[in-house]
Structure 1
Amino acid sequence: MGIKNRLTVMSFLQFFVWGAWLITVGNYWFGTKGWSGAEFGAVFSTLGIASIIMPALTGIIADRWINAEKLYGILHILSGLAIFYIPQVDNPTLFYWVIFLAMMFYMPTISLSNSVAYNILKNNNFDVVKVFPPIRVWGTIGFIAAMWMTNLSGNKASVNMFYISGFASLVLGIYSFTLPKCPAQKSVVKNASWTEKLGLDAFKLFGTYKMALFFIFSMFLGGALQLTNMYGDTYLSDFANTPKYADSFVSKYSTIIMSISQISETLFILAIPFFLKRFGIKQVMLISMLAWVLRFGLFAYGNPGDGLWMIIMSCVVYGMAFDFFNISGSLFIETTTDFRIRSSAQGLFMMMSNGFGAFFGGIFSGIVIDKFFTHDGVRDWHNIWLSFAGYALIIAIAFAVLFKHKHYAEDVATVTH
């Protein structure tokens, strides 16, 4: 099997593991278990806490001490074992801690998968900007495949989705040990400082105004990334409580509808090289932020009847909102940091977006929705999505004004060197 095909398998399984439960866990939490909304926000904050602690730490380990592909495999095996235990949990507190443990192992694998792919591709003389996005597309396809499997098999609110995820995680963990070696950069400059010896150099990036601002906005936009993962499927399923839409395709097959978002991702991922080289990181990320405004706004006014087109368009726009931020941000880190700290820098990006961003987004959204938009157990989805849209719009305006970055087309080409 060729290098690109081997990385494609890795990418597919990386996000299949997540897609098996991430979008549908709300139905399991609210429907099957009947637990509360505020606690659900805390559960999703585990993705943030894990991303704060682990990606930067594992990035340092991969840069200094252990082959990245081996560390990647170990983390997936441990994550799979934790996910396998979730079906045994029968109270929200223990559920929180088991999910937290699983995410401590899983979340750093997202940035590590990028580092492993970049390393292997460059070692085999591939143009990363051109070759990586089509490989990454298969991660999205894996996510979609897991969502469809969960929904069509009738398991979108059952414990089986955790078994599916756990099994895939174990398979990927074992498979990772067969990948080409990604050795640690063990050499440390003579008379190096303690930060250099410990591999903490990447944190110096916060000392640069542009990089610090990039990480800060990554955090704020990261707060929006998990909102539709947390509430999208539950929102569509809730239409079943309205007699007019009780038997609609949207409420019955909410996960299939949500998968349009991931299908859209596959198209926008392939467009990233063009947009990145043509417009540069600032414009691409600004487009992403405005796409988030549309994502939430269209959800606010959509319904399974005459507003179905808005729900579908919201899912289509998601591809641009997610990819133009997540993938372009990762490539930006790859083009602007020293090769000795790239795994660490990818970890920092993950820490700010899926770490602090997801943590604060999960905690505050759960509290706000429970306090201001839930009445007698019924959630006011219209105003929930409008508030999210307003948040994304404020972030977009601030980013356009504050982030200064002059784009040169040749800058992007440096990712291949």
Structure 2
Amino acid sequence: MTSTTRFKLSFMMFLEFFIWGSWFVTLGTFLGSNLQATGAQTGAAFSTQSFGAIIAPFIIGLIADRFFNAEKILGVLHLIGAFLMYQMFNTQDFTAFYPYVFAYMVVYMPTLALVNSVSFNQMGDPEKEFSNIRVWGTIGWITAGLMISFIFHWDSAEGIKEGFLKNTFMLACVASLILGVFSFILPKTPPKVNKGEKVTVSGILGLDALKLLKSSDFLIFFLSSILICIPLAFYYQNANPFLTNIGLENPTGKMTIGQISEAFFLLLLPVFFKKFGFKKTLMAGMLAWVVRYTLFAYGDAGSSSWMLILGIALHGICYDFFFVSGQIYTNARAGETVKSAAQGMITLATYGVGMLIGFWVAGEITDSHKLAEGSFDWNMIWLIPAGIAAVVLILFAVSFKEKKELKA
């Protein structure tokens, strides 16, 4: 790979996740403070990510893999995304906002697969080369959070009061416009499937891998993956509004500690996986969710703020030790013939079905624990997902039997 190609791919990854991090983290806070959205409405807005994840395979399978270069579709989708972000910036109420965020997620979620396709197409050894490119996406997400908190101060008490959080959509709009134009000079990535080749719905959604569910261990892992997405949704939907509501300074910037942690534990994952095996690694990830939410439940913005910071820092274990380990396990269990289908099925089950249920549950629980004058019973809002994660952990620990050949 030439230095020019490496720069292009790294800049593409940086912008891809800068865009997502520049508005998605503060979305819950924006909806509550700017649009006076209820918990159920906030859950509906976050659920658009799940609908996007469900629809994305069709865009990739029916269009990107058959008719057009991946980099060109990437450019078009981000240009459309820039327009939708501008419209979200201008909305004044939730009713007008929702169609735009729904449409945006439909066009954005496929780009996550497209940037990977463009990258892999330029690599001789993706297992060694991809991480050096993908890390720039994490850096992009972190940069967005630091800018919002420490440069623009949009998430400060004063900034929220003045309605400055809506500027996050303009920030994402500009970045989307840049990436949309830049995509057309990315390395050419032609379609992977011949135009005459038959494509089925089951193939697009990864349902060809359903036969893996005949194995009891994979079935238990599959169901656990869906269930653990319920407490996961609470973090995405409520973490920023929670930290803002209790008065923690620079909440968005401090939440980037989670992405730094994610990058760090990603490096430790192979060592942990090899030493302790898949089951214990997954259990560590589930336990981290229990600990994290317990810390959130009893932490505050004063003398116990360390509990909040520690809870944020646990993101690396929460995410890497469960979801990345799950991808590795799925890859090992699937075999060559249905490897891609199996990954697609797991993605559909977690980010599609699991998160969709999770955002709905999080919205309902948040509404049911709303107190007077815009305050919430955060203790219970966090203890409930902690309890859900604990139940999933216990069920998994008791019922999952690890295959000996997957322990090393």
Q: Does 1:398 align with 2:395?
A: yes
Q: Does 1:204 align with 2:201?
A: no
- Alpha carbons 1:64, 1:184 under 8 Å: kept: yes
Q: Give the counterpart of 2:191 among 180, 184, 187.
A: 184
SS in 2 for 1:101: helix
Q: Which residue of 2 aligns with 1:195?
A: 200
1:81-160 maps to which residues of 2 (within 5 A)? 81-121=83-123, 124=124, 126=125, 128=127, 130-152=128-150, 153-156=152-155, 157=160, 158-160=165-167
Question: Which structure 2 residue ranges, 5 or more long, are not aligned?
Answer: none
Q: Which residue of 2 aligns with 1:302?
A: 299
Q: Which residue of 1 aligns with 2:178?
A: 171
Cα separation, 1, equivalents of 2:113 and 2:279: 21
- Alpha carbons 2:206, 2:344 under 8 Å: kept: no
Cα separation, 1, equivalents of 2:401 and 2:68: 37
Q: TM-score, normalised by structure 1?
A: 0.83
- Alpha carbons 2:233, 2:362 under 8 Å: kept: no
SS in 1 for 2:267: helix
SS in 1 for 2:206: helix
Q: Does 1:13 align with 2:15?
A: yes
Question: Which structure 1 residue ranges, 5 or more long, are not aligned?
Answer: 241-249, 412-417
Percent identical residues: 36
Structure 1's 104 and 72: CA in aligned 2 closer, same or farther, altered over 3 A? same
Q: Which amino acid aligns with 1:369?
A: T
Q: Deviations over 1:16-62 (max 9, x none)?
A: 11111111122222123333222111111111122122235524644
Q: Does 1:233 align with 2:230?
A: no
- Alpha carbons 2:17, 2:137 under 8 Å: kept: yes
Cα separation, 1, equivalents of 2:47 and 2:227: 14
> Which has the bigger relative contact order, CA under 8 A and spacing at least 6?
1
Q: CA deviation at 1:63?
A: 4.2
Cα separation, 1, equivalents of 2:59 and 2:341: 7
Cα separation, 2, equivalents of 1:400 and 1:117: 37
1:4-43 maps to which residues of 2 (within 5 A)? 4-43=6-45
Cα separation, 2, equivalents of 1:60 and 1:288: 35
Cα separation, 1, equivalents of 2:75 and 2:136: 19
Q: CA deviation at 1:341?
A: 6.5
Q: CA deviation at 1:74?
A: 3.0
Q: Which amino acid aligns with 1:195?
A: T
Cα separation, 2, equivalents of 1:405 and 1:188: 42
Q: Give the number of aligned pairs.
A: 393
Q: Which residue of 1 aligns with 2:289?
A: 292
Q: Which amino acid aligns with 2:200?
A: T
Cα separation, 2, equivalents of 1:336 and 1:80: 40
- Alpha carbons 1:64, 1:186 under 8 Å: kept: yes
Q: Which amino acid aligns with 1:239?
A: I
Cα separation, 1, equivalents of 2:205 and 2:101: 31
Q: Which amino acid aligns with 1:175?
A: F
- Alpha carbons 2:13, 2:134 under 8 Å: kept: yes
Structure 1's 390 and 166: CA in aligned 2 closer, same or farther, altered over 3 A? same
Q: CA deviation at 1:235?
A: 0.9
Q: Which amino acid aligns with 1:151?
A: S
> What's the RMSD between the two structures over aligned residues?
3.0
Q: CA deviation at 1:203?
A: 0.8
Structure 1's 364 and 226: CA in aligned 2 closer, same or farther, altered over 3 A? closer
Cα separation, 2, equivalents of 1:353 and 1:347: 10
Q: Name whichever of 153-162 and 307-316 sits farther off.
A: 153-162
Q: Which amino acid aligns with 1:154?
A: H
Cα separation, 2, equivalents of 1:65 and 1:212: 35
Q: Give the counterpart of 1:320 among 317, 320, 332.
A: 317
Cα separation, 2, equivalents of 1:201 and 1:26: 29
1:364-383 maps to which residues of 2 (within 5 A)? 364-371=361-368, 373-376=369-372, 377-383=374-380
Q: Does 1:216 align with 2:216?
A: no
Q: TM-score, normalised by structure 2?
A: 0.85
